[in-house]
């Protein structure tokens, strides 16, 4: 059974600063922290008691030191930009790098590392904002980003937006790891995952897209029918080797706000809807035991599933991918919803 809120993984230290609790005590409850504008815990009522279904850190200090992006709002650019190299029109920008010479999730000082400002909060919603100065991590333009979390009886809605003072690239998302059996309960291998995608973008040895948009037929990325995650990641396929599992951008069918994926385990299920053109499916392959979770257990490989609605990775260097340039006067917008079924909802 999940620990009560006042006796969770922070019981040995001071209360977590900048934490907002949304929802009802006996219903769906979302905990959002200002650091990284992130999801700290998501507690659902079940027949066996309240259950936290997302991974997270015990303390703010551990979150600041962490590198797994638990629950965070990702920016300026979700996923990878190859070689930390960005060209916009006649100008070239060198970005800070943090993974194999690439810029991952905005670089080593990405939005996940920042203290966001709470703009407004109610019992069911919170809005946080961040101003990223011109030249931040090498990106041009001053960007103002906002994220709003809103909870309902069985749903969490996330709305992300950004504006800029100069042409730049922006792709914001949320990086929560899900485990419907409960945070710290072990592997998600037994979860059934389906993604409504006929295509994916293959990667090279540095996990950068090759530029091809390939059919999922005959690959581990054919998740159009519900598939055990453990079966998918253990298939013999060369695309699984660089990432030690699935860490790939799938291309959900359709456009606009639509259901793009579902995941289920025993008594709980979640559907994911988004208006993003891509969906990064990451099976927690690089969780290595260095993070101690909110419930006091360490996270190891495969202990969580991240599904990150996004623009295609490395789009700034791939003219064949959809354009991701944000210009003054425009507003970047992204919507994500998690809708739960089962338990005691």
For 169-179, what is each residue's pLDDT tens digit? 999 999 999 99
pLDDT (tens place) for every residue of the chain, 345 residues total? 333 333 333 333 346 889 999 999 899 999 999 999 999 999 999 999 999 999 999 999 999 999 999 999 999 999 999 999 999 989 999 999 999 999 999 999 999 999 999 999 999 999 999 999 999 999 999 999 999 999 999 999 999 999 999 999 999 999 999 999 999 999 999 999 999 999 999 999 999 999 999 999 999 999 999 999 999 999 999 999 999 999 999 999 999 999 999 999 999 999 999 999 999 999 999 999 999 999 999 999 999 999 999 999 999 999 999 999 999 999 999 999 999 999 889
Element (H, E) at 230: helix 229-233
CA distances from 21 to 49, 221, 338 (A): 18, 36, 17
| Beta-sheet pairing, 197-201 with 214-215 | antiparallel
CA distance 55 to 141: 33
Which pTM value belongs to this model? 0.95
Write out the two tokens for 227: 């598939």
Whose CA is closest to 110, among 167, 172, 165, 157? 172
Catalytic residue selected from 31, 34, 183, 308:
308
Residue 119: partners with Cβ closer than 8 Å, 6 or more residues away: 127, 128, 129, 146
The pLDDT assigned to 15 comes to 66
What DSSP state is assigned to residue 288? -
Catalytic residue check, 175: yes
Catalytic residue selected from 35, 70, 175, 248:
175
Q: Are 262 and 270 in contact (CB under 8 A)?
A: yes
**Edge-to-edge strands, sheet with 268-274:** 117-121, 125-132, 143-151, 155-164, 332-342, 268-274, 258-265, 192-195, 227-228
Catalytic residue check, 35: no
Q: Are 161 and 83 in contact (CB under 8 A)?
A: no
- Beta-bridged to residue 211, according to DSSP, are none
Domains parsed from the chain with CATH numbers = 5-342 (2.70.98.10)
Phi, psi (deg, nearest 5) at residue 103: -95, 110
CA within 13 Å, CB half, 55: 34
Mean pLDDT of the chain: 94
Write out the two tokens for 205: 């040895």
Q: Are 240 and 232 in contact (CB under 8 A)?
A: no
Within a 10 A sphere around the Cβ of 19, how many other Cβ atoms?
16
Whose CA is closest to 318, among 145, 163, 202, 196? 202
Q: Are 187 and 302 in contact (CB under 8 A)?
A: yes
End-to-end CA distance of the chain: 16
Write out the two tokens for 328: 């003054």
Phi, psi (deg, nearest 5) at residue 216: -80, -10
């Amino acid at each position: 059974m999940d620990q009560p809120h006042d006796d969770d993984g922070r019981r040995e230290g001071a209360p977590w600063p900048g934490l907002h609790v949304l929802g009802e005590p006996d219903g769906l409850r979302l905990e959002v922290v200002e650091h990284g504008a992130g999801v700290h815990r998501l507690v659902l009522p079940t027949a066996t008691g309240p259950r936290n279904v997302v991974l997270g850190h015990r303390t703010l200090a551990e979150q600041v030191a962490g590198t797994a992006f638990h629950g965070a709002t990702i920016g300026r650019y979700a996923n990878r930009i190859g070689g930390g190299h960005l060209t916009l029109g006649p100008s070239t920008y060198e970005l800070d790098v943090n993974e194999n010479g690439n810029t991952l999730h905005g670089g080593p000082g990405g939005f996940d590392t920042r203290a966001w400002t709470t703009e407004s909060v109610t019992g069911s919603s919170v809005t946080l904002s961040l101003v990223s100065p011109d030249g931040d991590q090498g990106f041009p333009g001053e960007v103002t980003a906002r994220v709003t979390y809103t909870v309902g009886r069985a749903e969490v809605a996330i709305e992300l937006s950004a504006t800029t003072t100069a042409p730049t690239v922006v792709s914001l998302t949320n990086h929560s790891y899900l485990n419907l059996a409960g945070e710290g309960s072990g592997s998600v291998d037994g979860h059934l995952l389906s993604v409504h995608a006929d295509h994916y973008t293959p990667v090279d040895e540095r996990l950068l897209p090759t530029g091809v948009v390939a059919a999922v037929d005959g690959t581990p990325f054919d998740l159009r029918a519900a598939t055990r995650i453990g079966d998918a990641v253990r298939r013999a396929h060369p695309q699984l080797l660089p990432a030690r599992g699935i860490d790939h951008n799938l291309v959900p069918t359709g456009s606009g706000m639509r259901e793009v994926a579902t995941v289920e385990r025993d008594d709980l299920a979640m559907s994911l809807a988004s208006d993003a053109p891509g969906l990064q499916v990451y099976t927690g392959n690089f969780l290595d035991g260095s993070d101690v979770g909110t419930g006091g257990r360490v996270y190891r490989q495969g202990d969580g599933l991240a599904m990150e609605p996004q623009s295609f990775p490395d789009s700034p260097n791939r003219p064949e991918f959809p354009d991701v340039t944000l210009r003054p006067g425009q507003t970047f917008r992204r919507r994500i919803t998690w809708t739960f079924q089962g338990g005691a909802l």
